[in-house]
Amino acid sequence: MNLPDPSFLIIQSLSGLTYAMFLFLIASGLSLIFGILRVLNFAHGSLYMVGAYLTYSFVSLFINAPGQFWWAVISASLAVALIGGFIERFFLSRLYIREELSQLLFTYALVLIIGDFAKVIWGTGQLSISRPPILKGAVQIFGQYFPEYNIFIILLGLGIAFLFWLILNRTRWGRVIRAAALDREMLGSLGINVSWLFTLVFIIGAWLAGLGGALVAPIAAIVPGMDVEIIINVFIVVVIGGLGSFWGTLLGALVLGQVISFGILILPRLAIVFIYVLMAVVLIIRPWGLLGKPLQR
Amino acid sequence: MMLKPNWFLILLILLLALLPLSESRFYIFLGTDILIMGLFAVSLNLLLGYTGLVSFGQAAYFGIGAYTCALLMKKAAVVFPVAFVAAAFMGMIGALIIGFFCIRLTKIYFSMLTLAFSQIVWAIVFKWNSLTGGDTGLIGINFPKYLDSSTRFYYFTLAVVVISFYFLRKVVDSPFGRILATIRENPERTEFIGINVKRFQLIAFMVSGFFAGISGALFGIFNHSLFPDLLYWPMSAEVLIMSILGGMYSFFGPVVGAAVILYLRMLVTSYTQYWPLIMGTILALLLFFFPGGIVGFLKSQRPFAGGKR
């Protein structure tokens, strides 16, 4: 067996890293919502999909504006955040008193509803948009070309991870959010409006999913079904890293990104089996994930 | 335990037996579909409603049963009765292996592990082209000669499902079934009174897998073809919804759920392709307004009807 070209390996791992950043954006939102609200949001992939579709629509809306892509990304992700806030405030919040299964099923109902709404609005065909002009090129890495846009995604993903960590650990709001994960009743009696805090957390989580979808739009096919496909990978990420754990989510995304990137290369037929085996093995050995903590309740 | 003859049930079975006299292909088809999916949903509900285990991977045993029966008949030329029984036992063995690991976990972790395992089974079926046909599916599974008409297959399905329900009903009404309900209410306390909770949960898994395997085998022959989608996670979600929509705290609730969903789907898909939208809306409305499911709602309307599950 001859060893593959090292430059090829680097490019391959960089593609894995790009995918990992998308996984991280979506999974961190899912994990944040689970950590605070204790709801596993099945519809998180749907919010991601809506982010991608809205970016498509906004790009054609802002056709003559300078920096149309960036405006589209900002508007689409904020619109998704708004949709998330609406869902939490008017529907999900009414189900907190019920058993967890009701909440899970409600988010699954949303998957069905949002998926079909997207088909009604955008059709069933495959849509695509082009990369922003400023990032159209490719850079040479050890003789191989790698798209500038992907490098931007990697840097942005790491930037958001850092910012996210900074907010959670170094600001008052971050402290409040971390406290909500530990003891929401106590937080309520300390004068924090927990009900609005939950809405805020859902909005942030939805925004992250929408941002992921908006940023993936230029490099992936925007099709119905991208919601169901991503959510299962995001579940794997949070399971590997640990539901509700920030660093765990990052680790899980990095691991899955590389496994998918190289697995498809080395064992194309077994790769897809392997990622689920990985998920099962982590659950059996450490149900709360590599960096997570066991659930208290 | 002596069961009072339930006249309503006997009447219902008689009516179902007379259904083919309508000579409507539509109703025979729908009836077969409802019976098969009803059995599948009840098999899940043994875990969900009776034992309190929210399994998110029931499609695995359904698919194992379906592929076992079809592959044995198609590739190994095994006669139908043998293939059919083998499917049930393969479903049970699958559930034994998967359940062995899953019962060690609780709550969300349990559901996630059942999901992971069913996805493993799905991925294997999806990628093992030479055996399962992969994405193109397994086509041309024929009815065995003596069941070679939709009416005959309907009667066969009806017989299998009625016998299965009879057996499952015996199981849940037996002391074993009572222990499962005790586990659902409080696993820790059940452990304290000297019951090996994990062993009971594992047996519940095996019984559940056995009947899911049977329903899968029926499904494959009924459809003449099999595709990996049968094992993909939305299938597990759909059967979960059937159980909860019908009412997971009653024995026949899941069958009612399956009947309502399948009938509505038939009805709706003739007008519009947006069935998931309707289904999602129904599910959401149900969660907000009828948390006990259809049967739970009907029971609450008749407060003196007795509390028999």
Using a CB-CB distance cutoff of 8 angstroms, which residues of chain A are in contact with residue B288?
91, 94-95
Quick check: A297 pLDDT over 50? no
Pairing of strands A138-141, B138-139: unpaired
Residue A158, φ and ψ in degrees, nearest 5: -65, -40
Contact yes or no for B287 and A105 at CB 8 A: yes
Residue type for position A85: G
The predicted pLDDT at position A280 comes to 92
Could you tell me which chain A residue has the CA closest to the CA of B237?
A108
CA B259 – CA B279 distance, rounded (Å)? 13
Cα atoms found within 13 Å of the Cα of residue B167, Cβ hemisphere only: 12
Asked if A279 reaches chain B (Cβ–Cβ under 8 Å), the answer is yes
Could you tell me which chain B residue has the CA closest to the CA of A110?
B280
Chain A closest-CA separation from residue B204 CA (Å): 20
| Element of type H or E holding A21 | helix A6-37
Q: How confident is the model at residue A3 (pLDDT cuts 50, 70, 90)?
A: low
Distance of CA B213 to the CA centre of its chain: 9
**pLDDT tens-place string over residues B248-280:** 888 888 999 999 999 988 888 888 888 889 889
**pLDDT tens-place string over residues B83-98:** 899 999 999 999 999 9
**pLDDT tens-place string over residues B38-94:** 999 999 999 998 888 889 999 999 999 999 998 888 888 888 889 899 999 999 999
Pairing of strands A144-147, A138-141: antiparallel
Among residues B289, B242, B293, the alpha carbon closest in space to that of B265 is found at B242
Quick check: B146 pLDDT over 90? no
pLDDT, chain B, mean: 86
Could you tell me which chain B residue has the CA closest to the CA of A90?
B288
Distance of CA A80 to the CA centre of its chain: 13
Among residues A121, A90, A92, the alpha carbon closest in space to that of A109 is found at A92
Answer for the pair B232, B122: CB distance below 8 angstroms, yes or no: yes
Among residues A136, A132, A133, the alpha carbon closest in space to that of A215 is found at A132
Mutate which: B48, B53, B119, B286, vs A, most A CBs within 10 A: B119
Contact yes or no for B291 and A288 at CB 8 A: no
Please report the ipTM that was assigned to this predicted complex: 0.85
Prediction pTM value: 0.88
Asked if A113 reaches chain B (Cβ–Cβ under 8 Å), the answer is yes
Boundaries of every domain in chain B: 25-232
Contact yes or no for B244 and A105 at CB 8 A: yes
The predicted pLDDT at position A296 comes to 55
**pLDDT tens-place string over residues A204-249:** 999 999 999 999 988 888 999 899 889 989 999 998 988 878 888 9
Boundaries of every domain in chain A: 24-225
Quick check: B307 pLDDT over 70? no
**pLDDT tens-place string over residues A40-74:** 899 999 999 999 999 999 988 887 778 888 999 99
Chain B closest-CA separation from residue A112 CA (Å): 5
Mutate which: A112, A235, A272, A274, vs B, most B CBs within 10 A: A112
Contacting A residues, span 160-219, partner chain B, CB-CB under 8 Å? none
Over residues A97-107, mean pLDDT? 84
